[in-house]
Amino acid sequence: MLLEIKGLLTAPEVERLQTLGRELRFVDGRASNPANVTKNNLQADHADPKYAESTQIVNVALARSREFVDFAMPKRVAPPLLCRYEPGMKYGAHADAAYIQLTGGRLRSDVSCTVFVNDPDTYEGGELSVMVGNRPMTFKGAPGDAIAYPSTTLHEVVPVRSGQRLVSITFVESYIADPHQRTTVYELNEIAALEGLTMKWENRVRLDVVRQNLMRMWAK
């Protein structure tokens, strides 16, 4: 299951990230995945003093987003990373690494998230293509929009033909690792939020018992 989030970032946050995208020092994207020969992009240099600000902006936005929290059920979130794609750059088909090395330990990647920063009209190509079954679904969001999807999903960034693609990416270790279990709890939570007030109290209580017991069984 995938989730599109409209307006994750505010307009001032988008503007600031776009500015940081011009001011930050970028390095070869293969620094974080040297084994992947299909990865051809740039990523913000962790040693740049402004890197921390770029991560903080997106972290704050994710933490306040009820849509994101309900969908991903985050236990830990990797520091969001600004990535830039110039003409000809791409990231070939791949699934994200099971574990992401962070300072102080490793994070299991259960949910991946891409936050779009640049206006899609300013660059050609560069769509995020996610395989759903045997069909690719493509995404090229407005500035501040985001897409979250299971890290196990085969996906790619198609080549940028002109302009510049700027996004922020991150990975989430969820309280529920299994995507099918996580989707089940998410759907039940959505039903409770949408229909709970119209249910008889007894039925609502029974639904809540099921939701909480599934969390007890599956959350880690």
pLDDT tens figures, 59-78: 999 999 999 999 999 999 99
Q: Is 189 a residue whose pLDDT tops 90?
A: no
Tell me which of 85 and 192 has the higher pLDDT: 85
Residue among 118, 153, 150 at smallest CA distance from 134 = 153
Amino acid 197: pLDDT:
74
Amino acid 126: pLDDT:
95
Q: Is 17 a residue whose pLDDT tops 90?
A: yes
Query: DSSP per residue over 167-209, as a string?
Result: EEEEEEEESS--HHHHHHHHHHHHHHHHHGGGS-HHHHHHHHH
Tell me which of 15 and 200 has the higher pLDDT: 15
pTM, two decimals, is: 0.91
**Nearest 10 degrees: Cα torsion 95, 135, 69, 188:** -130
pLDDT tens figures, 165-184: 999 999 999 999 999 999 99
**112 and 148 Cβ atoms separated by less than 8 Å:** yes
Tell me which of 194 and 172 has the higher pLDDT: 172
Q: Is 196 a residue whose pLDDT tops 80?
A: no
Residue among 189, 211, 154, 205 at smallest CA distance from 69 = 189
Amino acid at 219: A
pLDDT tens figures, 102-144: 888 899 999 999 999 999 999 999 999 999 888 889 999 999 9
- Both tokens assigned to 41: 């992009």
Amino acid 194: pLDDT:
82
Amino acid 30: pLDDT:
82
